[in-house]
Amino acid sequence: MKRSDLAPLRASTSRTTLIKRRTCAAAIAISLSLSLMPTGAGATIDYSSDPILFWNERAASLLPPGPPAQTRTLAMLNIAMHDAANSIVGTPDNPYLTGVTGFGGDVRAAVSQAAFQVLTAADPAHAATYQLALDQSLSLVANPTAKSNGIATGGAYASAIIAQRTGDGSKAVAPYVPTGAPGNWKPTSPAPAAFSQWGGVKPFELTSSNQFKPAPPPAVGSPEYAAALAEVREIGSLTSLTRTPDQTASALFWDAATGVTWMQIGLTIAEDEGLSTIQYARTFALLSTGLADAAIAGFDAKYDYAYWRPITAIREDPTNPDPSWTPLFTTPNHPGYPSAHSFFSGVGETVLSSVFGDDEAFTMTIAGDTRSFTGLHQAALDGANSRLWGGIHFSTDDRAGLQLGEQIGNYVLAGKAFNAAVPEPTTWAMMLAGFGLVGATLRGKKRATAIA
């Protein structure tokens, strides 16, 4: 994906159907067998929907703030659900979690129990709500033996992923001390530096947190740095006269995005597709582990480079300081390079486009703000651009983030962990043919559009 053209994006208004909170409309249809309970177009996800969709909706709606922690929980959730379903209706000789034995049973019961255990362990404050969701989902399983065996299967995989991720570094303490040198980030609030330990978290699919480490950011004083500084100084200011109303709307819209936003985008695209449970499991396992590894790799790079934010760079500019310069909204309390919104967007676009394509416009709503897009590609670029327009990132931060996300997304897609979850040879052939056509189409349609 070339990102050398710096022309700003225009939001699409070709489809303006309002969709419920943080969701978007669907892409291409892929008809596969083994649908547990396909949802219809425009359906609302609830406990009668496919259990993969239902439990991801519950997690996306309830998980507490903190994007890196949210993505870690979502990856654990989807790995447990994937392997539980895979052990019953997939290809159990190729799971993510090795050394775990399932007990067969009902797929809905297995997926639901796996999800319940992971979510209550990660988010005990909502345990009662998750219990209600479990009771509702299990009420649809009539056969008591199948229900019991499914619960045992789900419990086994949930316990396995919880044990595997215990001590993975997510609770480590990693103090950050700024050097005070030009270009070095310093906290922008009295609170401790946010997520400073996250680069040390054990990846889910990557071989290391620096496997796709971005090249260094522009050196302070270089021509590239000077251009990026002038750009954000002008367009990212609270009182900017050059930022358009649409750019302001984009900045404010994406400012409410979190670690679950691209999962929510994926949910609404997926709910209209009528996939099988095992295919939903595969899709969301790919997406969630990609997002989780992007958080790990992204924060590793953030604190390794410790690159300052525009607010500090402009106020303390050695040649032209402006102590009163203020961005459109509050700057997050962690280093700028690369942009987190951008690496999450890069993963989201890459994974979801590989499955569903990128040929339909959609509209989504986050925290009451609604915005329309021509497809996943434009949404990802808009999410990255928004951080420049909000005055909290240089455009170089955003470009590096998008590239990192795309690299991680492609790496996860090429992996073996979730690529064998089709139970019948005929179905597998259908899926390969469908994905091949989608991939060929996408390779021909990639646009050389860049962030601004």
Domain with 429, as residue range(s), is: 51-188+195-445
Q: What is the mean pLDDT of the chain?
A: 85
Residue 440 pLDDT greater than 60, yes or no: no
Asked whether 188 and 176 are in contact (CB, 8 A), the reply is no
Asked whether 36 and 54 are in contact (CB, 8 A), the reply is no
The model's pLDDT over 190-201, given as tens digits with 9 standing for 90+, comes to 999 999 999 999
Global pTM? 0.85
The CATH number that applies at residue 150 is 1.10.606.20
Distance CA(125)–CA(129), nearest Å, equals: 9
The model's pLDDT over 261-293, given as tens digits with 9 standing for 90+, comes to 999 999 988 888 889 999 999 999 999 999 999
Helix axes 107-122, 67-89, angle to 10 degrees: 160
Distance CA(286)–CA(414), nearest Å, equals: 10
Give the per-residue pLDDT at 316: 96
Residue 44 pLDDT greater than 60, yes or no: yes
In a domain, 68, yes or no: yes
In a domain, 40, yes or no: no
Give the per-residue pLDDT at 272: 83
Residue 41 pLDDT greater than 50, yes or no: no
Q: Count the domains in the chain.
A: 1
Give the per-residue pLDDT at 162: 98
In a domain, 57, yes or no: yes
Whats the size of the chain, residue-wise? 452
